[in-house]
Chain A
Amino acid sequence: MTTIGIDLGTTNSACGVWTKDGVKLIPNRLGEILTPSVISLDTNNELIVGRGARQRLINHSDRTVATFKRLMGTDHTIFLGRMGFNATELSSLVLRSLKEDAEAYLEEPVSSAVISVPAYFNDNQRQATRQAAELAGLKVERLINEPTAAAITYGLHQKQEGMFLILDFGGGTFDVSLLEYFDGVMEVHASAGDNHLGGEDFVDAMVANVLAQNQLSRDTISALDLQNLYLQMEGAKRKLGPGQTLTLTLGKKTIEFEVTQDWFIEVCTPLLLRAKTPIERALRDGKIPVSSIDDVILVGGSTRLAPFRSMVGRMFGRLPSCHIDPDTVVAMGAAIQAGLVMRDEALDDVVLTDVCPFTLGTAVANEPYDRDLSYLPIIERNCVVPISIVRRLFTASHNQSVVRVNVYQGESPDIKKNIFLGEIKVRVPKGPKGDEAVDVRYSYDANGILEVDVTVVSTGVNRQLVIERAPGALSDAEKQAARAKLAGLKFHPREGEENRMLVARAERLYESSLDHRREFVGKLLDHFHYALDRQLPHEIEQAQAYMKDMLNQMESENWF
């Protein structure tokens, strides 16, 4: 039985395993390390996960979904064809695919995993991630914060000691962690982040800007055109360099659009400025002088953006490091953590301490200003976990018979601006106000899961928090139903995956080309189908290689 480490990303996912000779990243069925977090359902209700699904994002956009990690912890439903899924279920499909890849690669069953989550994920989002793993048949040994995973990779793999500032800028989230590694201790000093800032936002801003320039709105152009525009902008973002001219189809008109660096910087500056806030907060909370930071480490695909690197360079007056592939460094860290959890002897002398990245508290009526409830922090952000803190609270009015403890997460003094996580009600004996007391205990464990427990001092009655309708959370019955629904979905047979991916890619190229280019792709497709129909393995292999070669030549930009 093996425990694997999984990086479940907004754009791409990856997994790895700890072996006797160190970390091993696990290739998927296409032989690639990165599996795009994209799900598509074909007309036979068979699932396509990864690159094949990503190819279908344009011409089957109503049956394909990407970037759903951003909906984790909410109850939004995405429809693929006629079937509705929430983000938890979609994530579980990606996890299931990764699990099967790992089983095929390791040739043994995989039943548990360490999964990385953005440090700034809240309790609901962490629970949703856990449930996704459960639905995929994986036991979650540990949820690890992504920057921490990256730091583990740098610290343990590269044997670097010292103070690191990790900037994890992924497809959907931006996380900052300040860590120190010494004598086998990996200590997180502070974490901060922005849950809704990532590479996808840059593309979003570019698309919005292009549409605004042409006086269009999202609703006035077709879904196909919009998806196309997204993919073109994504490509432009990745190739950003000396100006490039794109031909954009927007509804009825076709325009030539020049993507220049100045334009990109102008569009993205507000987003880049947002990235500064968490960096400053982490440094302030960690109480570490900037001069004692030994290295600034970049993690996540979005850190490849030149303007971001320049900004970091300016802020710290030095060049950040990124000598491990920023796309896989988190998966490697998760795999090392999996090894740690299994207590592999090679890792036995390493201890990891993490922090709770946000403040958890409750609402209280403070006399004499009890017009409104005010926020009472119980666990302050960036204190080391596991931690358990008790606060004694008293009844606020005469003859009060029930005490309600609301659980909030957030930093704002205004409780309405914090995230409501749940509530507990306990009965207390009636009496004059201030006579009865409850002990409220908040316990935050190393997985980032919060437990709240309320005890009435006089009667000893004890209640624990069960967050009843946390958005996106499933009850046991719902879990059963979801499991049944997902079990009914079959993955495409593994052998055909590569071929199907090529066909999808060619079809997309066919739709986006014109004239002789289109004709040529059509011929290629015919040739390929012919080879597939003849079912002679060596011929299929040849046809595959040829097809791949041709398609690569045709789209020299390989951003799918």
Chain B
Amino acid sequence: MWPWSELGLESTDDVRAIKKAYARLLKQTRPDEHPEAFQRLHQAYKDALASAQPQYHQPAPTLAEPAPLESTKAAQEPSLASGLFQPLNHAEDKPPPNVDPFPGQPADETPFQPDNQPPDNKPFLDKTDGEPSYLKSAVIKLEQEPPPQIDIDTAKTVRGRKILQFVRGGRSTAAPPPIDSTPAAGYGLRILAFALDMLVIALVLIIGQFVWAKTMGNAGLPLWLAAPALYPLTALLCEGSRMQATPGKRLLGLKVVNPDLMPLSQLHNAGRFLVFVLTTALLWKGIWLINAFLHGRLLHDRISRSYVVHVRHLGG
């Protein structure tokens, strides 16, 4: 696009004229009223400026690292340091403009960056040899490793306590875990799931034995009787998989989750398995009775802090 016609100017190097023209036109095309016309005008203005002053397209200089001063140096010059901090503390009471807040230091010693000097690769902050003494107490001890960056934006999105240290007062808690508002699957459903699992395991065993007998000859004992013993193993394998449920639970739309409604970690799942085996071995038939009174949060769920919920409560 030809910027000059948009700005109503002849091609010029006069930055002042370009700015004047832009300012005049901008007042007729306010950004909130004519967004598209404004974008065009702004682009034309930028292009015009770029052709008028090529240095605008050079990358801006990178500010130098503050020269690594040893903190011991400051310790040797305590009077200097306090000399700096004293007037600065007073400077906070709105010093009038153009009054040097450092009395005693001639103003022309302030190290202004020389104007019009092209931004070269030698950052001006390295030129610290001639710096006035009061700037020396800007003691920045530069560590070699980069400053610790707290990755707050990540921390914020993870529910946890990390961010809460930034708030003072109040009893700050994270939002309650989503499991609190998610109902557990009922006992009846869990029994049904268990029965279905038994059926599935027994079926697999029967078919397996049938195939075995066809190819290798009869094995004798009805193998499906081993189904109850295989149940915990099935649970361990299936609930730790991406299915998050035994076949019976899956058929009924149940899933095993942690308090954040996420899949269990392998370790968590192994813990759940262990708790299940131990409680069952310890209480044997009593476990049926106890679980009947636990509102669907069965003994091993409770101990292992895992949850069995219906997928419709998981929100997709």
Contact = CB atoms under 8 A, between A and B. Distances in A.
A47 to B, nearest CB: 14
24 contacts: A66-B167, A77-B174, A78-B173, A240-B89, A261-B74, A261-B85, A266-B141, A269-B141, A273-B147, A286-B60, A288-B60, A289-B118, A290-B113, A306-B85, A307-B139, A309-B91, A314-B66, A318-B110, A319-B110, A351-B23, A351-B31, A386-B35, A420-B157, A446-B32
B165 interface: yes
A311 interface: yes
Interface in A279-299: 279-280, 283-284, 286-291
B42 A321 contact: no
A265 B139 contact: yes
Given A77-B173, A319-B101, A289 B55 contact: yes
Nearest to B99: A323
Please tell me the size bucket of the interface on B: 35 or more
Contact of A185 (B23, B112, B157): B23
A518 B26 CA distance: 65
Nearest to B149: A274
A315 interface: yes
B157 A471 contact: yes
A49 B36 CA distance: 44
Contacts of B172: 65, 76-79
Interface in B57-108: 57-64, 66, 71, 74-75, 81-82, 84-86, 88-89, 91-92, 94-97, 100-101
B154 interface: yes
Given A64-B169, A311-B138, A262 B88 contact: no
A356 to B, nearest CB: 12
B21 to A, nearest CB: 10
Interface string B122-149: 0011000000000101111111000111
Contacts of B62: 280, 284
Contacts of A77: 172-176
B97 to A, nearest CB: 5
Please tell me the size bucket of the interface on A: 35 or more
A100 interface: no
Interface stretch (A14-22, A67-75, A108-116): A67-75
Interface of B: 19-20, 22-24, 26-27, 30-32, 35-36, 38-39, 42, 55-64, 66, 71, 74-75, 81-82, 84-86, 88-89, 91-92, 94-97, 100-101, 110-119, 124-125, 135, 137-143, 147-150, 152-154, 156-157, 163-176
A265 B24 CA distance: 49
A548 B100 CA distance: 36
Nearest to B176: A77
A544 interface: no
A388 B139 CA distance: 46
Contacts of A306: 84-85, 88-89
Interface string A414-426: 0001011000000
Interface string A314-341: 1111110111110000000000000000
A291 B138 contact: no
A385 B89 CA distance: 39
A248 interface: no
A322 B95 CA distance: 8
Contacts of A427: none
Nearest to B155: A196
Contacts of A227: 168-169
Most B CB contacts (10 A, CB to CB) among A70, A73, A288, A317 go to: A317
